């Protein structure tokens, strides 16, 4: 049964810590003699069960922040704690292990592998875990059922619409049962009807308990989240409740 977000408490761990804690995070890109400050002194906390939208104008640092949250990039300065563990300066192999087990990604461009079927695309990240073939099958089938695309599991990405491909990408992200689900402009390559369908799917995942952090530039989709974090010139300038009930 889905839980009403107005009554579902935001969860911290046994020590009272949030799921995500960023302190003083900055990111500088160096090219020749030019320094580009993509993020400046960002403090942010996310609790388990939250649905947060990261918003702001183009070039403000939204995707950079999401990449740091997803351990796809490292901060130049600051601290990052995920589920009580400091992850800011981990070696590459350990970062990859945490990404595979604790973080799910939904990208604007879907990032499906054209030579693999829908089933194989969703299963692929699970093959890097110590899971039996039976457990992988259970997870893949359950996640495809969850997003309403199980009837297409033997098809290839090119045989699907954009909205269907994004549903497969969502299934791939949730099959690993991640602590944190990150979505980078998940409706950016979709028409308005398909975009609304994907946003409704994310809402259902949130109601079922998923923790979601989504980058969007569209105010229509920002309102689907219960909290909005606004960036401007790499700085966090506002953190407020948005249209969805908390």
CA distance 27 to 39: 5
Given a contact cutoff of 8 angstroms between Cβ atoms, the answer to whether 128 and 88 are in contact is no
Its sign, for the CA torsion 208, 211, 216, 219, is positive
Please check whether residue 42 lies inside any domain of the structure.
no
| Distances in whole angstroms, Cα of residue 208 to Cα of each of 146, 182, 202 | 11, 16, 10
- What pLDDT is attached to residue 11? 55
According to the model, what pLDDT value does residue 2 have? Answer: 33
What is the residue whose two structure tokens read 């192999």?
Answer: 93
* Res 43: pLDDT: 97
Residue 22 lies in a domain: no
**CA 59 – CA 111 distance, rounded (Å):** 22
Report yes or no on 1 lying in a domain.
no
Spatial separation of the C-alpha atoms in residues 205 and 51, rounded to whole Å: 10
| Residue range of the domain that includes 185 | 49-72+92-241
Report yes or no on 79 lying in a domain. Answer: no
Tokens at residue 219, please? Answer: 């105010």
Does 12 fall in a domain?
no
Query: What are the residue ranges in the chain where pLDDT is below 70?
Result: 1-16, 243-246
pLDDT of residue 171: 94
| CATH number for the domain that contains residue 102 | 3.40.50.300
Q: Is residue 82 part of a domain?
A: no
Count of domains for the chain: 1
Q: What's the pTM? A: 0.87
Average pLDDT, the chain: 89
Sheet (strand 20-31) strand order? 34-46, 20-31, 77-82, 85-86
Look at residue 191 and tell me if it is in a domain. Answer: yes
Residue 183 domain flag: yes
SS (H, E, C) 33-73: CEEEEEEEEEEEEECECCEEEEECCCCCCHHHHHHHHCCCC
């Amino acid at each position: 049964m889905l839980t009403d977000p107005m009554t579902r408490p935001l969860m911290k761990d046994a020590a009272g810590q949030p799921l995500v804690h960023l302190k003083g995070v900055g990111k500088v890109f160096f090219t020749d003699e030019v320094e580009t400050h993509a993020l400046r002194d960002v403090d942010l906390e996310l609790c388990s069960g939250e649905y947060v939208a990261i918003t702001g104008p183009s070039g403000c640092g939204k995707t950079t922040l999401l990449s740091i949250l997803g351990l796809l990039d490292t901060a130049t300065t600051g601290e990052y704690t995920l589920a009580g563990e400091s992850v800011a300066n981990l070696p590459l192999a350990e970062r990859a292990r945490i990404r595979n087990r604790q973080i799910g990604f939904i990208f604007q461009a879907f990032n499906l592998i054209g030579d693999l079927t829908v089933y194989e695309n969703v299963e692929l990240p699970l093959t890097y875990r110590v899971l039996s073939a039976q457990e992988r099958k259970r997870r893949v089938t359950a996640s495809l059922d969850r997003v309403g695309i199980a009837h297409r599991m033997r098809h290839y990405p090119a045989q699907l619409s954009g909205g269907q491909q994004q549903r497969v990408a969502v299934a791939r992200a949730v099959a690993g049962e991640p602590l944190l689900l990150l979505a980078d402009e998940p409706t950016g390559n979709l028409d308005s009807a398909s975009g609304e369908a994907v946003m409704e799917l994310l809402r259902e995942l949130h109601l079922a308990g998923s923790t979601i952090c989504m980058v969007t530039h569209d105010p229509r989709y920002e309102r689907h989240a219960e909290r909005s974090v606004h960036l401007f010139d790499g700085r966090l300038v506002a953190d407020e409740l948005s249209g969805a009930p908390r």
